[in-house]
Amino acid sequence: MSIHVFHQLVSTVKHFNIVSEANKSIPIFLFEKDKEEKKEPCKLTLITPSTMDISTWQLFCQNELIPKKNYSYDLENHTLKIMHNNLQAQFQTDSLLLKGKGQIKVNEQIFAAVMELSPVTYICDVSANAGVYVSYETGDYKIKWDVNSDKWRNATWENGRYIFTYGLTDIPLVGQTDYVKTFNVIDAKLGSSWNPPDDSFTLTVLSNFSFNFSLASGNPPTTSNSNTNNDTIPSVFPYRMVDNFDGFAQHLTGAMSIVDKPIAERGVLGIRGHVQNPNIYGFYQMKQQQLTNRLFITNDFLTVDGKKAEKMVKEGSVINYEGLKDVEGFPSSGSLEFNECGSIVKIVGLNVEGERMNI
């Protein structure tokens, strides 16, 4: 498998995955009561806006900020050490802090762990009349499309219907490198999702900025009931998908087959999409005189001055939220827009911005 994960070059958010000897993720808990109370297992998240300036980093255990005095990073030897409460950890990373491996010790138990970048999500429009077609060669088919064609430019698109997330993590084994793949698909229109088993598909990301997904024979995707509604696009769960990214992996165009054996232009869809910004995470401080609120943002929620918004939805580099109560001066609902590296935030519609904090 030839893999070049180029989205990692712009991502600043890393997660630590606790694994067993069989390279399977396992939950660990800092305190025994957390397990008894069925709380979320321990999760470490590291934000590195500048890999060379440790003062800009934020390290979290769950949603608790770990004080900078409790961890260190040796820039010469690329070693990260953490001592926080009853957790001790040490990781050896690469020079760009894209990945790492090491051990975590909790309650006198030692676990292997890997540091990996957050899986990346793309929000995509799909079209059944964008001029996508298949051609059969030596018994197999290739999906083809032309973004400059009249059919593509004049196509009817279902905006934001197809959402997919993928991640690639290499784990060294004896004599070889194994790749743990994650792939998830959401049909936003039908509210259904699909996670194909790890051994049921191949997934490659090549150095020419192309992405290829293919199901193994005999592993059809989950089906939906949309056929009963005479839907033009009955499913967005792919048998195959081929995409081309731009140089920064921010946008893509491509195509997919939604049947096992498509014919001509039947059973194939055009795809166009944009990345769900993976760098939006951490503490932010609003900077204008009239608004000096502190924000805390994770993949799951938004808080402002400790008050949690009832609803938060990420769309690309924008967060839409509502139900924020009892926060002086801050809109109870609205949108927050971030730059590509997730370091600057603006309140949409107001001349107010903030930045990620160095704390």
Helix (H, G, I), strand (E, B) or coil at 55: helix
Give the per-residue pLDDT at 230. Answer: 60
- Residues in the chain, pLDDT under 50: 1-10, 20-24, 26, 171-178, 225, 228
Give the per-residue pLDDT at 173. Answer: 40
Give the per-residue pLDDT at 176. Answer: 43
- Residues whose CB falls within 8 Å of the CB of residue 176, separated by 6 or more in sequence, listed in order: none
- The answer to whether 264 and 132 are in contact (CB under 8 A) is no
Query: What are the beta bridge partners of residue 263?
Result: 266
Interatomic CA distance for residues 151 and 104, integer angstroms = 54
Phi and psi (nearest 5°) for 313? Answer: -130, 125
Q: How far is CA 278 from CA 7, 118, 216, 288, in A?
A: 10, 7, 29, 26
Give the per-residue pLDDT at 6. Answer: 35
Q: Give which of 320, 287, 283 is closest to 303, Cα–Cα.
A: 283
Structural tokens at position 59: 């390290």
- The answer to whether 70 and 359 are in contact (CB under 8 A) is no
Phi and psi (nearest 5°) for 32? Answer: -60, -35
Structural tokens at position 217: 């024979």
Give the per-residue pLDDT at 186. Answer: 92
Structural tokens at position 140: 């197999």
Interatomic CA distance for residues 7 and 278, integer angstroms = 10
Phi and psi (nearest 5°) for 41? Answer: -65, 165
Give the per-residue pLDDT at 359. Answer: 78
Which residue do the tokens 């194939």 mark? 268
Structural tokens at position 278: 């993976």
- Residues whose CB falls within 8 Å of the CB of residue 345, separated by 6 or more in sequence, listed in order: 284, 286, 295, 336, 337, 338, 353, 354, 355, 356
Structural tokens at position 10: 């712009």
Q: How far is CA 155 from CA 151, 194, 274, in A?
A: 6, 26, 18
Rounded to two decimals, the pTM is 0.70
